[in-house]
Amino acid sequence: MCLGIPSKVIEVDPALKTGRIDYLGTKIKTNFALLEDVKVGDWVIVHAGFAISRLDESDALETLDLLREVADKA
Amino acid sequence: MRSMEAFRDRKVVAGLLGEIAERRRGLPAPVRIMEVCGTHTMTIHRHGLKGLLEAAGVEMVSGPGCPVCITPNEIHEAALGLVTGRENTILATFGDMTRVPTRRGSLQAAVPARGSAVRIVYSPDESLALARRNPDKEVVFFGVGFETTIPSIAFVAKAAAAERLANYSVLAALWVIPPPLKAILTAGEVRISGFLYPGHVSAIIGTEPYEFVARDFGLPGAVAGFEPGDILLGILSLLDQIRDGRPRVANEYTRAVRPEGNPVARALMAEMLDPADACWRGLGVIPASGLKLKPGGAAYDAEAKFGLRIEPRPTDLPGCRCGDVLRGVIAPPACPLFGRACRPDSPCGPCMVSFEGACLVHHKYGAARP
Amino acid sequence: MTARISLELGSGGKTMRDFIAGTILPAFRNRELAGLLDASHLPGGIAFTTDSYVVDPIVFPGGDIGKLAVNGTVNDLVVSGAVPRFLSLGLILEEGLEAADLDRILRSIRKAADAAGVRIVTGDTKVVRQGQGDRIYINTSGIGAVVAEPNPRRLRPGDRLILTGTLGEHSLAILTARGDFGIEAPVRSDCAPLTFLLPFWKAGALWMRDITRGGLATILTELAEQAPHPLVIEEERIPLSKAVRAAADLLGIDPLYLACEGRAILVVPEKKAASILARIRRHPLGRRAAIIGQVEGKTGRPGELLLRTASGGLRLLEPLTSELLPRIC
């Protein structure tokens, strides 16, 4: 139900609101109609060919730091 | 962020489990967490977390968040009927759907009528493309999903209407997450200490729709992502809420979920869909728990277009206890058919078919003896 | 039993095997077929196998149906314990197939046969009406000289499992060539002859299989069913290319179930594992070979295939029952 992949926007057609994302070097067609103002370079969560949410970089890094702290204590 | 590896790193997981075990020790009662989302169920099992969490004193119970599992037979059979009974009809659907067993077999095993076919699509968009490329065929997108997927289904219905695509329609079974949680809590059958909320459904609906759980039922909840690290962070938050006696809706997936969710997606859903009472396998009819295409979109609603009379019933195939599994009342092994008549290669019900179904997950990934 | 044949009966996996065992075999009961092996070992030290190729599209990154038709059959012989020698070539051509395409495929067949050290010694050609055959179908039967009689019942705790390379590239190459899901990945089919593994029969290899439809997990569950001890493999040791990792995440498919066309899994005695691995790695087709697991003595029960996950958990693997489906939801 919730399979969503964090990926980087590499192409956008603003009129059609479609484009492509790159995930670890693999590219796939994606629909951006559910987000506003998607730009090349944005990070998004993709589900079933649609970008459903933006990935916030600072939040991601914060969580990563937290996880690294936990790992260091283990 | 580029690398998900930290989220599933062995040391990270071990460290989080250690913290979980420590915080759990201070708590008196059994701790049973219901993960609502089928993808959480799958991730938990896939990474062996269920056993590791049990060892740390946290029991995980699977909830009704598997859209394939809770869609009644009658809807699957309607889809089957379209592709086997109508010529020149392409039924486009997600992969999982093709293996659901019905009294008339599965879509995958179906022998389509002349000129008809079942086609698996990765995105609902693809079904639109199929319709454009095949003007001589009738294309029906058979879509089942929760709020993560519903906006994209609303999108294709809207696009088809805008293009006046005459050979396209949607057969939809759309489910809304908060109402069944309320139904489970009101029925009082399951004793749970808190909910793990679905990360990507929440990316669409935000955190507000779950507030009633904390406010009216006093139960903790945490929105969590799907990496092992995310899930364990969610559980840590739940333990904190239990310990502090301060139930709320915690967001442990801040990188993808905003409190307000995705307003564009929700606006699209509101534009194209109306709430409807829906019949959930195992749970029965739950008010306003489903969504239907608005009457104005009848031309793109396969039910209206083909005059399908679908009368869903909550009962399963004989002997199947998928309903009880979905409610978290029993664990898969307690079903008399589990592992015997009902196995991945001969499923009796959808819980054994869907990649996220609790029974398939348990059978596939469960309890390898150490 | 359905009254008409449905697509899933041919997709590999348990559903197909049950169909073969329940419908096709009973018509021909004999000792050679009873083993349901990919290649039969006949009196006189002859190994015999057959395979048909219906891949779509017929050309894909890293190969074509011709290359597949040679290597697939060659590999069945190699892993059964035989040196491939001769192939037959049956062609069913659809009216309207472009001569240039046929030419390309024939040249591919020749090149692949030379690389594998086999000769095409007999064949047949048919042409069917347009619409009655998907461009070209190929059948190859192969004959080889038996050099080993692998027996899964001889496996012992401690025997090591060696995987000769990364998983799933052939499957992904086909997906990208078909344009399925609009996916574009930097990947080429791993289609290749496994003849470089032949010396390892003498060097002590106990069992080999090429990883085709159903993927590694299906192949190993079949082995686990016949072996006297359970098998354990480690998720972190399984070599995967970045492209397959990405596609797996994007489409929700598990690389353990993806088909290859030039990868094998070997079971070798513990004492010989390091040296055999080193020799495999020296070959261009074996650069990413790895010991991914072992026949297990302390964990699990006979008949089981277990996976130690990256997070440290242990889980049971099941065989693929039918066509792999991308999970989205």
Q: CB–CB of A50 and B151 under 8 A?
A: yes
What are C128-140's pLDDT values in tens digits?
999 888 899 999 9
- Mean pLDDT for C196-211 is 97
Are A53 and B257 inside 8 Å of each other by CB? yes
Count CB atoms within 10 A of the CB of residue C21: 11
With contact defined as beta carbons under 8 Å apart, do B71 and B146 qualify?
Answer: no
Give residue limits of the domains in chain B: 5-66+179-251, 69-176+264-271+290-305, 322-364
- Whether the domain at B5-66+179-251 and the domain at B69-176+264-271+290-305 fall into the same CATH topology: yes
Superfamily of domain B69-176+264-271+290-305: HypD, alpha/beta domain 2 (3.40.50.11740)
The answer, for C320 touching chain A at a CB cutoff of 8 Å, is no
Taking alpha carbons only, the member of B343, B341, B80, B37 closest to residue B199 is B37
pLDDT tens digit sequence for C49-86: 999 998 889 999 999 999 999 999 999 999 999 999 99
Beta strands C231-234 and C305-308: pairing type? parallel
What is the predicted pLDDT for the residue at B40?
A: 92
Number of H helices, E strands in chain A: 1, 5
Residues of the domain holding A69? 5-73
More confident call, C322 vs B123: B123
User: Can you give the pLDDT at residue B368?
Assistant: 46
Contacts with A70 from chain C: Cβ below 8 Å: none
Beta bridge partners of B141: B92, B170
pLDDT at C13: 66
For C229-244, the pLDDT digits (tens) are: 999 999 989 999 999 9
* CB B353 within 8 Å of CB B347: yes
- Cβ–Cβ below 8 Å for C7 and B108: yes
Q: Go through chain A and tell me how many residues it has.
A: 74
Whether B364 sits inside 8 A of C306 (CB atoms) is no
The number of helix segments (H) and strand segments (E) in chain B equals 16, 11
| pLDDT at C324 (0 to 100) | 54
Q: In angstroms, what separates the C-alpha of C176 from chain A's closest C-alpha? A: 10
| C-alpha distance across the termini of chain A, in Å | 32
A27-36 pLDDT, tens digit per residue, is 999 999 999 9
Check whether C19 has a pLDDT greater than 50.
yes
User: pTM value?
Assistant: 0.82
For C306, the closest chain B residue by CA position comes to: B368
Q: 């990649």: which residue's tokens?
A: B355
What does the alpha-carbon distance between residue C322 and residue B36 come to, in Å, rounded to a whole number? 28
pLDDT at C292 over 90: yes
pLDDT score of C315: 76
Give the one of A1, A2, A23 whose C-beta lies nearest to C249's C-beta: A23
| Average pLDDT of the segment spanning C6-28 | 78
The rounded distance, in Å, linking the Cα atoms of C161 and C149 is 18
B361 touches chain C (CB under 8 A): no
According to the model, what pLDDT value does residue B1 have? 45
- What's the total number of domains in chain A? 1
- Which segments within chain B are labelled E, that is strand? 31-37, 58-65, 89-93, 117-120, 138-145, 168-175, 194-198, 221-224, 249-251, 273-280, 284-293
C153-173 mean pLDDT: 96
Q: Do A34 and B11 touch (CB under 8 A)?
A: no
B5-66+179-251: in CATH 3.20.20.100: no
For C92-127, how does the pLDDT look when each residue is reduced to its tens digit (9 = 90+)? Answer: 999 999 999 999 999 999 999 999 999 999 999 999
Does the structure show a pLDDT above 60 at C327? no
- The mean of the pLDDT values for chain C is 90
Per-residue pLDDT of chain B (370 residues; tens, 9 = 90+): 456 677 877 888 889 999 999 999 989 878 999 999 888 988 888 788 988 999 999 999 888 888 877 888 889 999 999 999 999 999 999 877 877 777 788 887 788 888 898 888 888 998 999 999 999 999 999 988 999 999 999 999 999 999 999 999 999 999 999 999 998 898 877 788 999 999 999 999 999 999 999 999 999 999 999 999 999 999 999 999 999 999 999 999 999 999 999 999 999 999 999 999 999 877 788 999 999 999 887 789 999 999 998 888 766 667 788 878 877 788 889 998 898 888 876 777 777 776 667 888 787 766 543 3
User: Measured between CB atoms, does C328 come within 8 Å of chain A?
Assistant: yes
- C-alpha distances (whole Å) from C65 to each of B28, C112, C165, C192, C262 are 65, 11, 22, 12, 14
pLDDT(A25) > 60: yes
Question: Is C268:C160 a contact under the CB 8 Å cutoff?
Answer: yes
Q: How many CB atoms lie within 10 A of CB B22?
A: 12
Put simply, whether B10 touches C (Cβ < 8 Å) is yes
Give the minimum alpha-carbon distance from A47 to chain C in angstroms, rounded to a whole number: 7
Question: Closest Cα to residue B278, out of B269, B287, B265?
Answer: B287
pLDDT of residue A1: 53
Contact A49, A5 (CB under 8 A): no
Residue-level pLDDT at C20: 86
Instruction: Give B-chain residues touching C327 at CB under 8 angstroms.
Output: 95-96, 355-356
With CA atoms as reference, the chain B residue closest to C5 would be B111
Please report the beta strands in chain C, taking only residues with DSSP state E, as ranges in sequence order: 39-42, 46-53, 59-60, 63-64, 82-94, 119-128, 136-146, 160-163, 183-184, 207-210, 231-234, 264-268, 290-295, 305-308, 314-316
Judge: C318–B344 Cβ closer than 8 Å, yes or no.
yes
Determine the average pLDDT of the residues in C39-48.
Answer: 92
Q: Shortest CB distance from C328 goes to which of B8, B94, B109? A: B94
Q: Are B350 and B314 in contact (CB under 8 A)?
A: no
CB < 8 Å from C in window 23-82 of B: 45-49, 51-52, 67-68
Instruction: Please identify, in words, the CATH class of the domain defined by C37-146.
Output: alpha beta
User: Which of the four pLDDT bands, split at 50, 70 and 90, describes residue C301?
Assistant: confident
Contact assignment for B265 to A55 by CB distance below 8 Å: no
Q: What is the pLDDT of residue B369?
A: 38
Using CA atoms, how far residue C56 sits from B150, B297, C8, C137, C198, in Å, is 33, 38, 16, 10, 30
Domains of chain C: which residue ranges?
A: 37-146, 152-316
Q: Indicate the pairing of strand B221-224 with strand B194-198.
A: parallel
Which residues in chain A are closer than 8 Å to C249, comparing Cβ atoms? 5, 23-24
Residue window 113-152, chain B: list those with CB within 8 Å of chain A.
122-126, 145-146, 148-149, 151-152
B345/C301 CB distance under 8 A: no
Mean pLDDT of chain A: 88
Bridge partners of C183, per DSSP, are A28
* Residue type present at position B255: R
What is the reported pLDDT for B370? 36
Nearest to C158 by CA among C20, C298, C305: C298
Quick check: A15 contacting B, CB < 8 Å? no
Q: C247-265 pLDDT, tens per residue?
A: 887 876 789 989 999 999 9
CATH fit for domain C152-316, picks 3.20.20.220, 3.90.650.10, 3.30.1370.30, 3.30.565.10: 3.90.650.10
Report pLDDT for C84: 98
> Domain of A14: which CATH number?
2.30.30.140
Region label for C135, one of left (φ > 0), alpha (ψ between -120 and 50) or beta (otherwise): left
Determine whether the interchain pair C242/A47 forms a contact, defined as Cβ–Cβ distance below 8 Å.
no
Interchain proximity A52–B268, CB inside 8 Å: no
Angle between helical axes of C242-251 and C169-178 (0-180°, round to 10): 60
Q: Tell me which residue of C51, C47, C108 sits closest to C83, measured CA to CA.
A: C47
Q: Which of A21, A26, A46 to mutate to test the interface with C (most CBs of C within 10 A)?
A: A26
